[in-house]
Amino acid sequence: MPEVTTSDVVEHFNLEILAGHEGVYRAITTSDISRPGIEIAGFFTYYPAKRIQLLGRKEVAFFQQLTKKQKIERMEKLCTYDTPGIILSRDLIPPPELIDSGNKIAVPVMRSNMTTTRLSSELRNFLEIQLAKTTAVHGVLIDIYGIGVLLTGASGVGKSETALDLVRRGHRLVADDSVEIRQLQGNILIGRAPELIEHLLEIRGLGIIDVMTLFGAGAIRPHKRISMSIHLEQWDEKKAYDRLGIEEETIRILDTDIPKYTIPVRPGRNLAVIVEVAAMNFRLKRMGINTAQEFSERLTHVIEDGDWEEF
């Protein structure tokens, strides 16, 4: 799992550090956020200490009603050696007891001018992305009619040339040669290009081209959810390729399985059109229209009835 620290959150959200400066490099291991209202009320039995604690207007207002002894006790229990940080929203004034406990245990106490709900949502999204499992795949990622298509295959099989043809047909390039993939919650795979080669496409015999400069900003996108994979391989006369498309093959990336289609490559085949149609057919399947399955059912019905005049 990638390492994320409290300092990353401070930098991304431009937070003001009020106490516990020594603990800004504490590790954050979960994207869950806790609003410790029930803990401030005195119930710490299931206190999620390893989460970032977010204090809003309600928590601070309730805290002010406690006695001095209760305030000190609750803040000391709230600040633990496992707590990555405590954030106050709406530029709220921190209770002195929180500042003292934060400095004592080196728990960063931070402040933001954002509303509590918005801060909670954006902070959770940020941590989910940063803590997501990652990998890199050799291939090309293209957005075709809203479908993220990952092209894989041996070096020199024609992945980049196919991507170039698809871009010329109005589709958008996400990444060429290397695709960085993050797995978000719900087994969602998000692919993007490494920063060094973003917007670039390598064509053998031509060199490196900048897709955005040549075709405009509408020809690229920074990231895309990966929905299917198409593997390009040299045509093998001895291999029996799927001609109906009834049985779907899958490929596992990280912990997620996505449909995989193998397309044989040989002179005369228009790969860009084939890949484009594959993406369109995949979208139809998601809408409940499976042409191969419908044909199989029709064929079975004809065989059972013994009526071959249709063919």
Helix (H, G, I), strand (E, B) or coil at 116: helix
Rg of the chain, C-alpha, whole Å: 27
Matching residue, tokens 């204090």: 55
Alpha carbons 184 and 182: distance in angstroms, whole number: 6
- Pick the range with the lowest mean pLDDT from 10-14, 284-288, 302-306: 302-306
Q: Does domain 4-131 have CATH number 3.40.1390.20?
A: yes
* Single-letter residue type at 87: I
Q: Strand 52-55 relative to strand 33-34: parallel, antiparallel, unpaired?
A: parallel
The catalytic position among 238, 239, 243, 252 is 243
**Residue boundaries of the structural domains of the chain:** 4-131, 133-297
For a pLDDT cut of 90, what percent of the chain falls above it? 67
Q: Into which CATH architecture does domain 133-297 fall?
A: 3-Layer(aba) Sandwich (3.40)
95-133 pLDDT, tens digit per residue, is 999 999 999 999 999 999 999 999 999 999 999 888 888
Quote the mean pLDDT of the chain.
89
Alpha carbons 51 and 106: distance in angstroms, whole number: 16
The arithmetic mean of pLDDT across residues 292-300, rounded, is: 68
* Single-letter residue type at 45: T
The catalytic position among 58, 138, 204, 286 is 138
Q: What residues form the annotated binding site? A: 153-160, 202
Q: Is the pLDDT of residue 9 over 70?
A: yes
For residue 185, the model assigns a pLDDT of 79
Whether 257 is a known active-site residue: answer no
Q: What residues form the annotated binding site for ATP? A: 153-160
Whether 159 is a known active-site residue: answer yes
For residue 184, the model assigns a pLDDT of 85
225-237 pLDDT, tens digit per residue, is 999 999 998 887 7
CB-based contact 138:39 (threshold 8 Å)? no
Alpha carbons 212 and 272: distance in angstroms, whole number: 19
Token pair for residue 119? 């801060």
Whether 177 is a known active-site residue: answer yes
The catalytic position among 26, 51, 71, 159 is 159
Q: What residues form the annotated binding site for Mg(2+)? A: 160, 202
Token pair for residue 154? 């041996």
